[in-house]
Structure 1
Amino acid sequence: MATSVGLFVLEFYRDAEVLLPQLYGQDLLTLVVAIPALFGALYYAHQGPLRGYVVWLGVTGYLLYTYASYAFLTAFNELYLVYVALFVLTLFTLIGGLACIDPTGLKDALHDHLVRGYVAFQALVAGLVALMWLAEVGSASLAGVRPPSIAETTLPVPVIQSLISASLSRRLPSRRPFSGSIGRGDTSSPASSS
């Protein structure tokens, strides 16, 4: 619904002209590629193969990025609450989906496949995108001016760059296993509780 309205309702977006090609392109990609891929991967994952599940997670990650962009980046319109709902739903779906992956099963499924090349490629793409977005923010911050990519928009700050910066600056969790209790109200060991 959100992508169809964005694409087919004339003058629906109230954003600056410079943002409109991105919004229309994102809607078109979501409608033509992401939604069919999501349903195909969901059907395939329901049949049992891990590949379908992993593809479903990937498309969910794409939708998370898309609706985070729409919730934080677009000018307010009649679908604002839909964008926020889709952002929240895809966020929790992705977190829950990642938490349900069995690492041993995933390793077994990839038994003969070399994954380092895929990981290196993804790390390279993520690094290049981060550099692309953050390079202009860094130089604009040093110069005390607004970044050129948002100078022509109605946005007060570069929202996506802010999200990327926040995610990159997060400290990685420690690898120590959790030893406390959550939600029990006591500090007894698991062996002593029944």
Structure 2
Amino acid sequence: MKFKKEITWLVYFASIVSLFVASIGVSSSHSSPSTSFQSIQGENIPLYGKGLYQLDSVSAAAQVIAQDWVTLLLGLPLLWFSLHWARRGSMKGRILLAGTIGYFLYTYASYALLLMYNDFFLLYVVLLSTSFFAFTLTMMSFDYEKLHQSFDATIPVKTIAGFLFFLAFLLLALWLSRILPAIINNTPPTGLEHYTTLVIQVLDLSFIVPAAILSGVLVLRKHAFGYLLATILIVKGMTMLTAITAMMANIMRAGEAVSIIELSLFPLLNIFVVYCLILMLKHVKEHKSVTGGPSHENTNRLRHQTR
């Protein structure tokens, strides 16, 4: 794997920092909000009032704490496992690593840009930067000229592309249903609360939706880069849908209302995206160096030594 050393150090550093950040985050247990804040739009927003997220709203803090739990219980173990697998030369490991780093990149971009300023602001910035460069180097480590050799020809392209198109449509419908009525009625959108803008919607509409549509089109065309991008999105989707499911459970625990549609839809999608991930990884072909045969690098070294 190209850039193995650089990626390893970046991932180790990010994992240590995120372990500390998430551990402190989950220690902020829920309590009844003692204060409220009137936003610039005139809404009275109940504040969490305790721990690291004391200045955030009850709803936002409940979501972030759930995200911290998912980072600790799923994100970090998956990051360490995929890094170990990738370092052994596994194509599946490298794809899984890219998708998992994508989760950390998305997560700490939202923390740095969305949350009310707190003592961990610089740590969020460090995690955002570290995740970005780790993701960039991981994507650069693939040999795109030979990428088609890593996927077999029996990938169920219609199933994978259909899921990606549905994911893009779902995010569009979900977020535009909040944004457009607010624009038309000249009212603050649902979920804005006392924050300045809709950061999650910015990230989803700017990056996730276009990436899902693009990868869906490329998968239908049986393009190798489409397979790679689709698998990375599916890994990222699995971690994020798990986080969303945990968020909804924690929001209800905090006494906030959750849409019945979201409550039923996201857990079902979470199950289906795990199925899609298994389906895609099943059709990734490993090199001989992973399965026990001599690698191309070792073969060249042996030839050089026998001359």
TM-score, normalization: structure 1? 0.78
Asked if residue 72 in structure 1 is aligned to residue 119 in structure 2, the reply is no
Q: Following superposition, which runs of at least 4 residues in structure 1 exceed 6 angstroms of deviation?
A: none
Residue 87 of structure 2 aligns with which residue? 46
| Contact 2:102/2:135 (8 A) holds in 1 | yes
Alignment of 1:112-191 (within 5 A): 112-114=153-155, 116=157, 117-150=159-192, 153-167=193-207
Residues 1:169 and 1:102: Cα distance change in structure 2 (over 3 Å):
closer
**Letter in structure 2 aligned against 1:13:** Y
| Contact 2:171/2:205 (8 A) holds in 1 | no
Q: Percent identity?
A: 28
Residue 78 of structure 2 aligns with which residue? 37
d(CA) in 2 for partners of 1:57, 1:166: 19
Q: CA deviation at 1:95?
A: 2.2
Q: CA deviation at 1:115?
A: 5.2
Asked if residue 5 in structure 1 is aligned to residue 24 in structure 2, the reply is yes
Residues 1:114 and 1:104: Cα distance change in structure 2 (over 3 Å):
farther
Residues 1:85 and 1:126: Cα distance change in structure 2 (over 3 Å):
farther
| Contact 1:60/1:90 (8 A) holds in 2 | yes
Q: CA deviation at 1:135?
A: 2.1
Q: CA deviation at 1:160?
A: 1.7
Q: CA deviation at 1:9?
A: 4.5
Q: CA deviation at 1:32?
A: 0.3
- Structure in which a larger fraction of residues adopt helix: 2
CA-based RMSD: 2.2
Residues 1:136 and 1:9: Cα distance change in structure 2 (over 3 Å):
closer
| Contact 1:64/1:90 (8 A) holds in 2 | yes
Q: CA deviation at 1:110?
A: 1.2
Structure 1, unaligned stretches of length 5 or more? 173-194
Superimposed CA distance per residue, residues 66-119 of structure 1 (whole angstroms, 9 cap, x where no aligned partner): 101101111111111111111122122222222221234432121144152324
**Letter in structure 1 aligned against 2:203:** L
**Letter in structure 1 aligned against 2:88:** Q
Greater displacement, 161-170 / 137-146 = 161-170
Greater displacement, 138-147 / 36-45 = 138-147
**Letter in structure 1 aligned against 2:109:** A
Secondary structure, aligned partner of 1:142: helix
Structure 2, unaligned stretches of length 5 or more? 1-19, 30-50, 215-307
TM-score, normalization: structure 2? 0.51
Q: Kindly indicate whether structure 1 or structure 2 has the higher relative contact order, using CA contacts under 8 Å at least 6 residues apart.
A: 2
Q: CA deviation at 1:143?
A: 1.4
d(CA) in 1 for partners of 2:170, 2:210: 16
| Contact 1:137/1:161 (8 A) holds in 2 | no
Secondary structure, aligned partner of 1:148: coil
Residue 55 of structure 1 aligns with which residue? 96
Residue 96 of structure 1 aligns with which residue? 137
